[in-house]
Amino acid sequence: MLFSLSAFCTGTDLRGKLSFSLEDHYYTLRKVYEHCQEVQGNLEITHLQRHMDLSFLKNIQEVQGYVLIAHNEVDYVPLENLRIIRGTQLYLGRYALSVFSNANRNGSAGLQALHMRNLTGQWDPGARVVGEVRLSVYFAHKIYSPPCDAKCGSPSCWGSGPEYCQTLTRSICASKCLTRCKGPKPTECCHSQCAAGCTGPKDTDCLACHHVSNSGVCQEYCPPLTIYNPHTYETEPNPNGKYMFGATCVKKCPYNYLATDLGSCTLTCPSSTRELILEHEQKCEKCSAHCVVADCYGLGVNVLKDVRAVNASNVHLFDGCTKIFAFCISSGYLYIEAWPQNWTDLGLFEKLSVVRGRVLYSGAYALLVQNLHNIESLGLRSLKEISNGLVFVHQNPALCYIDSILWSRIFRNPQQEARIIDNQPSDNCTNKGKICNKMCANGSCWGSGASQCFSCKGFLRGEECVESCNLNQGEFREFLIHKTCNLCHPECLPQNGTLSCNGSDSDQCVDCAHYRDDRHCVERCPSGLHGHVWKYPNENGICQLCPTNCTHSGVVPNQAQMRILKETEMKKVKILGSGAFGTVYKGVWIPEDEDVKIPVAIKVLREGTSPKANKEILDEAYIMAGVSSPYVCRLLGICLTSTVQLVTQLMPYGSLLDYVRENKDRIGSQHLLNWCVQIAKGMNYLEDHVRLVHRDLAARNVLVKSSNHVKITDFGLARLLDIDETEYHGVDRVGGNDKVPIKWMALESILHRKFTHQSDVWSYGVTVWELMTFGAKPYDGIPAREIPELLEKGERLPQPPICTIDVYMIMVKCWMIDSECRPRFRELVTDFSKMARDPPRYVVIQGDEQLVLPSPADSKFFRTLLEEEDMQDLLDAEEYLVPQPSFFRTEPSCTSHRTRIPSSRVNIVTSLSDSSSASPSLSPAQPSTYWTGHLTATRGPLSLSEARFPQTHSQGDSVRPSSHTHPPSTFCCKSFPNKPLPNTEEAPPCHQAPMHLTSPPTLLRPPSTLISAFLGGKPDTKELSTKVPLLIALSRSFLVPVTPSPPPSLVPGLQ
């Protein structure tokens, strides 16, 4: 059989007693059994008068316990649909069905027939009904007993007429039938799981199940909650698992029942487990060690096992209780029939919040208060829920306020009712002034005063309803949450006319009453914190560390420089773009009193930032300025104008997104995987060393320093969007607003505004997808508002055509819903580094070996960058901020100055020289390592940013060129300040006159500009200074031809 959860009822356990008047008893039975199909306990039909309507019994089909029909005067009990009595409890310990004393004293009225025509089985006196149970039927007076109808074929029937013939399902069965049958033929046997007969041979044809019913299928057990996976050798949750609720399998236990790990719905947790109440679930949770019993036992349990009432001898056992286990189960009913004479309310239970009613008084009542002559109000002001059962408050002659209570708001289901009768008339209460306080909403309360309101008309402060909260005035300031007044922390300084706090903690004050220690307001600065650290307040009331007793931490000092720039020092040349945080300008930084120009990117944050936002911006700027990674752009300075401006180094080759789109036909697998490694290294640095979440990682926020070197930018800027709470909540995060990059964000970031390093991993997966598709748009054509639903359904970006499944599966792992299942950045560094050692195995590009990536200097971004008039004769930012010794040790006649980057273009194009042409005068006696190449020149001074050098050995981030032995020679630096370089037509062709400087000079420390611009990395300058004299022509210097040297061997690409 298949029942809905609403068709179950608990039954009663009165054993024939009459607890109320006949009318109240009938009301109780009707409320218990109305709409019920399966009785989880006992079906007790007693003390019913002849005129009473019993139609509420007609739907009952199964009874788990016993059936008792006694002390009635009705003609018959309408149990025509009852099919099985399981007898899990027996009346008097012996009977599953007991019928007796069903007639009035003079015999004029009484029970004439049972009419249980669908109750199948063998019903001879003393025989078993279900299991080892007996049938006991007694009539006080046999009024009339006619024979059964002739069509019955046996003397067994439930009443006169052929429709009441008893149906036999066991004694008439063929010998091959193991259990029940529907007829005498061998083909009419029931399935072995059937009880009470069947309509066919299948387990879905049973009239009732022998064990349990699983969605209409009779089975021995419900599907288990966990199953064993033979492939992983582990147990896993069973998606089809169900709980056993009586004789029915349910996917979820009914409300007010406890789910156990054993797969059952119970009313009390077994030993070694404890009750856990969640918002939508109640279950038994295993205790980590020994279960701590912090609750009290009610009547009939443990030390109160044989006690039937609370009195002076045992009331102390309930002192301090938060939960009472009553009648062997948790959270039963509250029944009060006696009370001290001088107590006028039930204030002893004023903290009671929930009555669960898992066991009910008389099988029906969760709260029953009767025959208390002195109480004037209930006083149950904290009661918020009665989970199950009825409320009966009657015969309390002094009780007022009871008619104002909104019982429906604390009931859990519509079948619950409150029966309020025979208390003090409400008119008498009104005349005595016993009415609800004016601060009570809807005139509903539990008693007298503003603390007894059922709900507040205004606001709730503590336990009392008030008109308003002390938000902007008053001695003690408050903040508001859901119409509740909450006190600010005592260390918050009251503000005049504005809020003093936004929370109850000491770090949520607008200003401090005494001192501030970090973010917390304190009464005094800590003294002897952890026994060693002492602090003192400065003139602004900020607690500072005392230096006298400090010990060296061993941490390297942060020597990063944060420059506060004047607006007059910066010149904006051209808008490069705008985004979520504001506008980006190409610009020039001209330090005051210096004759230099430094190319920079100026990021002007949006207007309207609050004081809190400005403070947060400075905190973020501190972090951004202190980064020290070759794969992360560093903040150079900040300009504190009305709209904050962040100044970073200008990468002249643009974003990686534009770069891969522009060169998609010339990018090989080596470069793609190298970029993946470098981005992962940069993000791992932000996670491990800076503890900073990027929030906006995408290919557009990765800049190209060279074809072999990329850097992450705009880290931390997305955080600045979130400083102004009002602004953020005003953004339609899934409605197409470009302030939030929905298509790069993790699902938890979109739905719950949760940003972590693992949400950055999701964005990293999308960034890798952009690279592998050469700049395609993720989820192109799909509106941003549809992305969350699409992700929740399991859809992800498709596999790029050039990617093997190895690379694609790394992307998929980055897009797992559970953030803890995503890889860490250090794991991504390892995975992509492994792939970068054998690129064609993991990224398949046609003609990969023949692809040569052009210099970034040929990019459209670079060409347009130098078109502006103000971008002339520039000095690189790193060279300016980290001054180095002269690049070459020159003669005194040579002019020493900073290395500039003129905009006129001269290409130094290297080509490998024939080793056979080495000069015979060379001797291996005095070694010197250097490079050789050919020089071609165009009109104008030399542009260092366009110099090109031979490929070199590479190891991680260090560049290791090949070494050859040559003798020393002399170096002559001849300055020709007014002589331009020769015309292109006059310059020697690339295949002629190999050239380099005439001396193997000793390098002190090469400018980082040259190393970064030409080699695409940040190599060890000390190593280069001792091994690599670079062949560099400085502007206005003369180069003479020499004999070429043997070529270096080549190893492609940086790892």
CATH 2.10.220.10 in the chain, residue ranges: 226-286, 468-547
Neighbour count for residue 518 (Cβ, 10 Å) = 9
Structure tokens at 917: 């042409």
Q: Which residue, 461, 480, 463, is CA-closest to 471? A: 480
pLDDT value at position 1049?
35
Tokens 């399935």, residue located = 191
For residue 77, pLDDT over 70 is answered with yes
Give the whole-angstrom CA distance, residue 182 versus residue 172: 9
- Highest-pLDDT range among 72-86, 96-110, 141-155, 899-913: 72-86
Angle formed by the axes of helices 805-814 and 825-836, nearest 10°: 170
For residue 584, say whether it is annotated as part of any ligand binding site.
Answer: yes
For residue 959, say whether it is annotated as part of any ligand binding site.
Answer: no
Structure tokens at 905: 């273009």
Give the whole-angstrom CA distance, residue 34 versus residue 919: 112
For residue 142, pLDDT over 60 is answered with no
Neighbour count for residue 550 (Cβ, 10 Å) = 11
For residue 842, pLDDT over 90 is answered with yes
pLDDT tens digit string along 191-243?
999 988 899 999 999 988 989 999 999 999 999 999 999 999 999 999 999 99
For 547, phi then psi, to 5°, come to -85, -15
Query: Residue 656: pLDDT band by 50, 70, 90 thresholds?
Result: very high
Residue 972 CB-density burial (10 A; 0-12 exposed, 13-18 middle, 19+ buried): middle
pLDDT tens digit string along 165-174?
888 888 889 9
Beta strand ranges found along 241-341 (DSSP E)? 243-245, 248-250, 258-259, 265-266, 273-277, 282-286, 296-297, 324-326, 329-330, 334-336
pLDDT value at position 267?
84
Task: Out of 16-20, 28-32, 307-311, pick the least confident.
Answer: 307-311
CATH class of 657-722+741-850: mainly alpha
pLDDT value at position 957?
40
For residue 578, say whether it is annotated as part of any ligand binding site.
Answer: yes
Neighbour count for residue 532 (Cβ, 10 Å) = 9
Dihedral of alpha carbons 874, 877, 881, 885, sign: negative
Tokens 């970031």, residue located = 749
Task: Out of 310-314, 769-773, 940-944, pick the least confident.
Answer: 940-944
Check: CB of residue 201 under 8 Å from CB of residue 190.
Answer: yes
Task: Out of 56-60, 170-174, 544-548, pick the least confident.
Answer: 544-548
Structure tokens at 545: 């560390």
pLDDT tens digit string along 460-511?
999 999 999 999 988 889 999 989 999 999 999 999 889 999 999 999 999 9
Give per-residue burial for 354-380: e unless 16+ CB within 10 Å, then b.
ebbbbbbbbbbbbbbbbebeebbbbbb
Give the whole-angstrom CA distance, residue 751 versus residue 734: 9
Q: Are strands 282-286 and 273-277 parallel, antiparallel or unpaired?
A: antiparallel
For residue 349, say whether it is annotated as part of any ligand binding site.
Answer: no
CATH 3.30.200.20 in the chain, residue ranges: 563-649
Query: Residue 966: pLDDT band by 50, 70, 90 thresholds?
Result: very low
pLDDT value at position 302?
57
Check: CB of residue 260 under 8 Å from CB of residue 273.
Answer: yes
Domain 468-547 has CATH 2.10.220.10: yes
For residue 1006, pLDDT over 60 is answered with no
- Residues 6 or more apart whose Cβ sits within 8 Å of residue 594: none
Check: CB of residue 958 under 8 Å from CB of residue 709.
Answer: no
Identify the bridge partners of residue 516 per DSSP, sorted by sequence position.
521, 542
Residues of the chain with pLDDT > 90: what percent?
34
Neighbour count for residue 100 (Cβ, 10 Å) = 17
Q: Are strands 515-517 and 520-522 parallel, antiparallel or unpaired?
A: antiparallel
For residue 445, pLDDT over 50 is answered with yes
Is 696 part of the annotated catalytic residue set? yes
Query: 563-649: what fold?
Result: Phosphorylase Kinase; domain 1 (3.30.200)
For residue 603, say whether it is annotated as part of any ligand binding site.
Answer: yes
Cα 347 versus chain centre, distance: 41
Query: Residue 161: pLDDT band by 50, 70, 90 thresholds?
Result: confident
For residue 855, pLDDT over 90 is answered with no
Identify the bridge partners of residue 709 per DSSP, sorted by sequence position.
706
Question: Which of 696, 714, 760, 876 is an active site residue?
Answer: 696
Q: To 5 degrees, how large is the angle CA 909–CA 912–CA 918?
A: 125
Query: Residue 871: pLDDT band by 50, 70, 90 thresholds?
Result: low
Task: Out of 275-279, 408-412, 917-921, pick the least confident.
Answer: 917-921
Give the whole-angstrom CA distance, residue 324 versus residue 333: 10
- Highest-pLDDT range among 32-46, 851-865, 955-969: 32-46
pLDDT tens digit string along 263-296?
999 888 887 788 888 777 888 988 775 565 545 6
pLDDT value at position 876?
72
Check: CB of residue 401 under 8 Å from CB of residue 447.
Answer: yes
Give the whole-angstrom CA distance, residue 697 versus residue 564: 27
Identify the bridge partners of residue 226 per DSSP, sorted by sequence position.
237
For residue 582, say whether it is annotated as part of any ligand binding site.
Answer: yes
pLDDT value at position 412?
87
Residues 226-286, CATH architecture: Ribbon (2.10)
Query: Residue 860: pLDDT band by 50, 70, 90 thresholds?
Result: low
CATH 3.80.20.20 in the chain, residue ranges: 1-167, 328-436
For residue 544, pLDDT over 50 is answered with yes
Which is more confidently placed, 862 or 647? Answer: 647
pLDDT value at position 972?
33
pLDDT value at position 927?
36
For residue 476, say whether it is annotated as part of any ligand binding site.
Answer: no
Q: 872 in helix, strand or coil?
A: coil
Give the whole-angstrom CA distance, residue 1009 versus residue 1034: 13
For residue 1016, pLDDT over 70 is answered with no
- Residues 6 or more apart whose Cβ sits within 8 Å of residue 313: none
Can you list the pairs that 564-570 forms with residues at least 24 positions away whose Cβ atoms lie under 8 Å? 564/637, 564/638, 564/639, 564/640, 565/589, 565/637, 565/638, 565/639, 565/645, 565/647, 566/592, 566/639, 567/639, 567/641, 567/645, 568/592, 570/600, 570/602, 570/639, 570/645, 570/647
Query: Residue 699: pLDDT band by 50, 70, 90 thresholds?
Result: very high
Residue 865 CB-density burial (10 A; 0-12 exposed, 13-18 middle, 19+ buried): buried
Residues of the chain with pLDDT > 70: what percent?
68
What dihedral angle (degrees, nearest 10) is formed by the CA atoms of 482, 485, 487, 488? 60
For residue 579, say whether it is annotated as part of any ligand binding site.
Answer: yes
Q: 771 in helix, strand or coil?
A: helix
- Name the average pLDDT for the chain: 75
For residue 583, say whether it is annotated as part of any ligand binding site.
Answer: yes
- Residues 6 or more apart whose Cβ sits within 8 Å of residue 880: 591, 596, 598, 898
For residue 154, pLDDT over 60 is answered with yes
Q: 1022 in helix, strand or coil?
A: helix
Mean pLDDT (whole number) for 785-806: 94
Task: Out of 677-681, 685-689, 768-772, 777-781, pick the least confident.
Answer: 685-689
Residue 920 CB-density burial (10 A; 0-12 exposed, 13-18 middle, 19+ buried): exposed
Give the whole-angstrom CA distance, residue 1044 versus residue 57: 110
Mean pLDDT (whole number) for 967-972: 34
For residue 660, say whether it is annotated as part of any ligand binding site.
Answer: no
- Residues 6 or more apart whose Cβ sits within 8 Å of residue 486: 478, 479, 480, 504
CATH number of 1-167: 3.80.20.20
Task: Out of 18-27, 804-813, 877-886, 960-969, pick the least confident.
Answer: 960-969
Beta strand ranges found along 397-477 (DSSP E)? 418-423, 459-461, 464-466
pLDDT tens digit string along 577-628?
776 567 888 888 888 888 888 888 888 877 665 666 666 667 777 777 778 8
Give the whole-angstrom CA distance, residue 176 versus residue 192: 12
pLDDT value at position 393?
94
Query: Residue 576: pLDDT band by 50, 70, 90 thresholds?
Result: confident
Residues 328-436, CATH architecture: Alpha-Beta Horseshoe (3.80)
